A and B are shown apart, each in its own frame.
Chain A
């Protein structure tokens, strides 16, 4: 078997707020293989975006930093490389698309310039070459009227088109890893489906591994092979998409999945709120406490949940969950 392309080992990220410093990512480990799609799910505020930013080295300056652990990209620890090296990798070997297509493009440059720039930076193309390749890329992400659109400014495009531009930019250098943080949350449902179709198509072409962050189980089922469920900065369950969705082990995962009734019969358009789990994600101040952070919302909690942080329990090969009361 080939070595994983990305190996995150015991990653902890701390975040400073007015209330104090808390581990917004708490001892997270996972592996990503070439060409594979790994999905992160969990409610808002679970630390999914911070995980993505941590991998990219884009944690909010001054208030947040990697406090321990390693992020091994092809054996090189991104948490300790120089800024210069990180700049060489970003956009070239690992790239990212964001949740906010409306504000993620620079308003004062044409999209042709914004796509072309990354090719000049990493691939050493000149202006003319980068322009021609940008044209190809805009066509590849299926924006109509390519020849005119390349001269447009972001404010002249729709949200879906802007996200397509972001995808074109992210895939311009054929990266080994694409980090997609809720790429369709801000878009219409019909546009969402188109964007995912596009990602699937491009994934086949470039063999890019994808870290797909979403809170939509339907999307996970459609897109990913492996998934990780996060809760309050911790991984609570991990396994293949089939394992986790067909036989969720953690009460939190069970709650998430029961909210989407006919998931396995493929009805990705069903998107309901998490009605089945009472309460909300705890605030940052409780992150990192030595207990199960889901305990207060859990119908299966036992005494031990209050006194120690759950260990990882193996369920079957590749499937594990962090819970003290897995037995049914």
Chain B
């Protein structure tokens, strides 16, 4: 019951946050020079005052400001984000077509960074002078110092040009056609380098935090109790210590979500990955305001939903987050 209530509460907050993003979007649209009528007129190759007026009336641009805001919110709530005159498609259709590619990249790289980061962190906490500790330190140095696009280009040169193991760009090979598995394998091959690039920053972050958190937990009184109970080393580390050490790492992963999404934009640009990032890049170049704002809306949605999930996972791990009855 408590959980259901907590979830409802979080969803409510998330909705308010999303509303704020929509309002912000609306203001930015108004601040941008020119309006829809101008864009339409542009594609038509110019129009006179009469036609402009007609278009403005059509789109409700002559209505009072608040009415327009209300209409905008109402439309966005139905996932109607307007029309891109540059791509001549509704923005929602445009974005929905690109979102799976980005989600695939973002989720895979986060899962990879979390799993490898936690394993490395645990291993190096167990053995602070061992190889894994050295790896964590090197990763940290590299992950913090190297910009994503630089890492991306470096990997591209190394593993698709010099040693051509992986494809250079894109998500599919047009030449590859066959059963589901053949195509999935093809996507997987294209996915490797972008995922490695994007996860490198976060891997550095998570492995370091996990090591620190693990070391702290291993020195705590309840670990001494676990030893006094005669538990084995593995039970102590993976059952008693890790579950406690995980909370800060997951919290950080949640906080990093927006960084992951913006990191994805750069990685997509480097590898021509056909996702939101590439779309965002192109729409910025072509001043396609509705599309840019639509992407902003959807990436906010991704981050907000991600945070909601993070919160639930934390509750699952740490009973103290659930509060006492």
Give residues in A with beta carbon < 8 Å to B. 56, 58, 83, 86-92, 95-96, 98, 100, 103-110, 117-118, 121-122, 153, 155-156, 166, 169
Contacts and interface: CB of A to CB of B under 8 A. Distances in A.
Interface residues of B, number: 23
B320 interface: yes
A100 B228 CA distance: 14
B177 interface: no
Contacts of A106: 222, 225-226, 240, 244
B220 interface: yes
Contacts of A166: 225
Interface string B217-237: 000111011111111110100
Contacts of B229: 90-91, 95, 117-118, 121, 169
Contact of A103 (B221, B226, B320): B221
26 contacts: A83-B233, A86-B230, A87-B231, A88-B230, A90-B227, A98-B221, A98-B225, A103-B221, A104-B224, A105-B222, A105-B225, A106-B222, A106-B240, A107-B222, A107-B244, A107-B318, A107-B319, A107-B320, A108-B244, A108-B317, A121-B231, A122-B230, A155-B319, A155-B324, A169-B225, A169-B229
B225 A108 contact: no
A239 B220 CA distance: 36
Nearest to A102: B221
A153 B319 contact: yes
A141 B243 CA distance: 28
Interface in B290-325: 317-320, 324-325
A90 B231 CA distance: 8
Contacts of B228: 56, 58, 90-91, 95-96, 98
Contacts of A156: 324-325
Contact of B221 (A56, A90, A95, A104): A104
Interface of B: 220-222, 224-233, 235, 240, 243-244, 317-320, 324-325
Nearest to B223: A106
Nearest to B320: A155
Contacts of B220: 103
A104 B324 CA distance: 19
A91 B230 contact: yes
Contact of B230 (A92, A104, A108): A92
Nearest to A169: B229
B182 to A, nearest CB: 44
B227 A58 contact: yes
Query: 7 closest pairs, A vs B, by CB?
Result: A91-B230, A90-B230, A91-B229, A103-B221, A153-B319, A106-B222, A96-B228
Contacts of A117: 229, 231
A110 B244 CA distance: 13
A104 B223 CA distance: 8
Given A117-B229, A118-B230, A155-B319, A98 B240 contact: no
B22 to A, nearest CB: 38
A118 to B, nearest CB: 5
A83 B233 CA distance: 10
Given A108-B244, A121-B230, 8 more contacts: A87-B230, A87-B231, A88-B230, A89-B230, A106-B240, A106-B244, A155-B324, A156-B325
Contacts of A104: 221-222, 224-225
Contacts of B318: 107-108
Contacts of B317: 108
B318 to A, nearest CB: 6
A104 B233 CA distance: 18
Contacts of A118: 229-230
Nearest to A96: B228
B18 to A, nearest CB: 32
Nearest to B218: A61
Nearest to A173: B230
A245 to B, nearest CB: 30
A122 B324 CA distance: 32
Contacts of B325: 156
Contacts of A92: 230
B21 to A, nearest CB: 35
Nearest to B224: A58
A307 to B, nearest CB: 40
A105 B230 CA distance: 15
B171 to A, nearest CB: 40
Contacts of B222: 103-107
Given A107-B319, A153-B320, A98 B227 contact: no
Name which of A91, A105, A108, A156 has the most chain B CB atoms within 10 A of its CB. Answer: A108
A107 B221 CA distance: 11
A109 B232 CA distance: 17
Nearest to A115: B229
A87 B231 CA distance: 6
Nearest to A153: B319
A227 B221 CA distance: 27
Name which of B224, B229, B244 has the most chain A CB atoms within 10 A of its CB. Answer: B229
B79 to A, nearest CB: 40
Contacts of A107: 222, 244, 318-320
A184 to B, nearest CB: 16
Contacts of A98: 221, 224-225, 228
B217 to A, nearest CB: 10
Contacts of B225: 98, 104-106, 166, 169
B54 to A, nearest CB: 65
A204 B95 CA distance: 74
Nearest to B240: A106
Contacts of B320: 107-108, 153, 155
